[in-house]
Each structure stands twice: as C-alpha cells, then as structure tokens.
C-alpha cells in the first residue's frame, strides 16, 4: 500500500497522470487502476478526475498531509536497489568517454551531487564535466550532452523527460512551532516573524507576493513590505531561519533532510509561492554513455 500512497502523492503534486507515468515509467492506465485500488483499501475517494483535470478531495488532502514526506523515508532503499542495477549494467560500458552535464543548483545540491561518486566508482573511465547554475532554461548547443532545466523544450531534435515538480514554500523549525504555534491562515502570518525576499534578478525588494493553494489553485496576496529581514537566496533564507526564531522561505528540495528528521516543519503546507516542473533534456540520439547517466539521474529522483 505504501508504494501506492507514494504514487498518490506524486499525482497531487504534479496534477498529471502523464507526468507521473513518465517519471515512474508506468502506464497511465496502471496508475489509474492502482489509485482506484488504494481508494478501495482506504474506504474513501482521494481524487476527483475527468479527462482534463485532477482535484483532491478533503480525504485526499488529509492523506497527503499525513504522508507527503513518505518518499523521503524510502529513498535510501530505492537508491541501494538502483545502484545494484547500475552495477549490473556497468559491464556494458568498457570504453572511456566524457560527458558535459548542466544541472540546476537547487535540485542537484540534495538529489544528485552527493551521489555522483557512486556513478564514477561504477564507471571509472567516464569523465564528467558538470556545470551548475541557478537554472538553465534553454538548450545550449555548445557540446552539452544533458541539461536539467525547469521547463519543457519544444524541439524535434530533443527529448524532454519530466523529472519532478518542485515547490517554493514556507517552513520553520520544530522548536519555533512548539513555542509560537503554526499559523492556520495566510492572515495569521502577520502575527509571526517571517523572512522576506529580494528578487535575485532585479535586486529589488519584494513587497507583495502571491500565495497559491495546491488543492484549489486559489491565489491570495501576502504583503511583505514590513518584514525585518529580507534575503535573495532560498538556501540562505533557510540558514537564517534555522538559527533564529523566524519562518523562512525555501525550495522544498533543499529541506528534505531536515523535514524527514522532523527538525523543520512546513508552514501552511497547502500553500506555495512558486512551482516548477523540471525536465531532463537531451538529444534524441543518445550514446550508451549518455543513456547510463540519464538512468543515473532518474534513479536520483525515483521514489
């Protein structure tokens, strides 16, 4: 049942059977059947779905809130399994080679870079040139073999493979939640110390920002002009929040470890600021070396 709950969590976060099917390498019909069986086991409806839209029921929201970090607990098991599979395939690659890889810094910090040494140990003759940036948004025909970017690329010579949906949200430490309690509405945020933002592109203070509901897609404004502290990077917002009594903003991926260890908790978990669908982009014709690294990247995100 746990793997079906993880499947349900992916559906809530992507709102797309197609994207989940591509990510987990399953048929959409298989996913639909497994969700129906899960609903039968739980005795209630989780999702309302038609040909175009997926919406989450009240019971579905309850299950999502209870289990939305379940995938973090099974990552180690899956990574061990997938590492064995890669090792079994390593005999296929005997020749030396070099790959030019471009990665999103936000996703690669927790998901990919800590596991690179596993890949190089299995494939000691493959050299990796890795370039990490805030985000790559376009395919760059400069010798790059694979690019991880927060958008699909419409190009007949390229393949865009969906990887993960990532959310930018509010968090606080567990000690803050115990001492001050958690806000239940956006209006209640005014009773808390919150770290605000600075636009990293324009270097301008952010005084208003829109929060969106993951279930209903409702949008509400949040005034941030009076916030005492503002900063332009999510990682450093997290660092300030972890060391002070402030609610902070950050990408969920950068908080995975602390969330799984219950050092930090989500604030208004049904609301978010930004959402990006990340894709692995490469040319249609791939070499054996490229395919092995593509599989490695998938294994880094597979739950």
Q: Are 263 and 125 in a shared domain?
A: no
Residue 175 domain-assigned (yes or no): yes
pLDDT above 70: residue 74: no
Q: What is the CATH number of the domain that holds 245?
A: 3.40.190.290
108: which 2 tokens?
């690669």
How far is the C-alpha of 247 from the C-alpha of 244, rounded, in Å? 9
Q: Are 246 and 256 in a shared domain?
A: yes
Residue 89 domain-assigned (yes or no): no
Residue 39 domain-assigned (yes or no): yes
256: which 2 tokens?
């995975």
Q: Which helix (DSSP H) or strand (DSSP E) does residue 300 occupy?
A: helix 288-301
pLDDT above 90: residue 236: yes
How far is the C-alpha of 158 from the C-alpha of 154, rounded, in Å? 8
Q: Are 26 and 152 in a shared domain?
A: no
Q: Are 208 and 266 in a shared domain?
A: yes
pLDDT above 70: residue 88: no
Residue 271 domain-assigned (yes or no): yes
Cβ atoms of 194 and 247 closer than 8 Å: yes
The b-or-e profile of 38-66 (16+ CB within 10 A means b, else e) is bbeebeeebbeeeeeebebeeebbebbee
Q: Are 282 and 152 in a shared domain?
A: yes
Confidence at residue 303, expressed as pLDDT on a 0 to 100 scale: 54
78: which 2 tokens?
């899956």
Phi/psi of residue 223, nearest 5 degrees:
-85, 125
Residue with tokens 């061990």: 80
Q: What is the CATH number of the domain that holds 152?
A: 3.40.190.10
Confidence at residue 85, expressed as pLDDT on a 0 to 100 scale: 52
DSSP summary character for residue 260: H
How far is the C-alpha of 81 from the C-alpha of 285, rounded, in Å? 28
Q: Are 284 and 152 in a shared domain?
A: yes
How far is the C-alpha of 232 from the C-alpha of 197, rounded, in Å? 6
Residue with tokens 């197609």: 18
This model's pTM is above 0.85 = no
Q: Which domain-ending residue is among 51, 68, 85?
A: 68
More confident residue, 222 or 76: 222
Phi/psi of residue 195, nearest 5 degrees:
-80, 125
Cβ atoms of 300 and 112 closer than 8 Å: yes
Confidence at residue 110, expressed as pLDDT on a 0 to 100 scale: 86
pLDDT above 60: residue 73: no
More confident residue, 1 or 4: 4
How far is the C-alpha of 237 from the C-alpha of 245, rounded, in Å? 12
- Residue 212's domain comprises 166-276
Cβ atoms of 102 and 147 closer than 8 Å: yes
Q: Are 17 and 103 in a shared domain?
A: no
Count of the separate structural domains present in the chain: 3
């Amino acid at each position: 049942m746990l793997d079906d709950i993880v499947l349900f969590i992916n559906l809530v976060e992507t709102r797309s059977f197609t994207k989940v099917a591509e990510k987990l390498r399953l048929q959409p019909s298989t996913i639909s059947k497994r969700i129906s069986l899960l609903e039968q086991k739980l005795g209630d409806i989780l999702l309302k779905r038609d040909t175009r839209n997926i919406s989450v029921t009240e019971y579905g929201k309850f299950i999502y809130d209870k289990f939305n970090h379940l995938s973090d607990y099974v990552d180690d098991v899956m990574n061990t399994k997938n590492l064995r599979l890669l090792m079994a395939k390593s005999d296929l690659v005997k020749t030396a080679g070099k790959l030019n890889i471009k990665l999103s810094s936000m996703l690669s910090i927790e998901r990919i870079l800590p596991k690179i040494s596993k890949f190089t140990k299995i494939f000691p003759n493959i050299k990796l040139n890795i370039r990490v940036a805030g985000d790559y948004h376009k395919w760059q025909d400069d010798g790059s073999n694979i690019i991880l970017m927060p958008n699909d690329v419409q190009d007949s010579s390229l393949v865009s493979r969906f990887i993960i949906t990532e959310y930018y949200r509010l968090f606080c430490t567990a000690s803050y939640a115990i001492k001050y309690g958690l806000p239940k509405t956006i209006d209640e945020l005014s009773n808390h110390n919150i770290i605000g933002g600075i636009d990293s592109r324009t270097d301008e203070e952010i005084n208003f920002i829109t929060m969106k509901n993951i279930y209903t897609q409702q949008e509400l404004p949040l005034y941030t002009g009076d916030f005492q502290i503002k900063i332009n990077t999510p990682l450093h917002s997290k660092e300030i929040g972890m060391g002070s009594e402030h609610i902070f903003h950050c990408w969920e991926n950068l908080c995975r470890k602390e969330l799984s260890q219950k050092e930090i908790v989500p604030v208004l978990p049904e609301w978010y600021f930004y959402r990006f669908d990340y894709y692995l982009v490469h040319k249609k014709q791939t070499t054996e070396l490229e395919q092995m690294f593509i599989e490695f990247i998938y294994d880094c995100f597979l739950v």
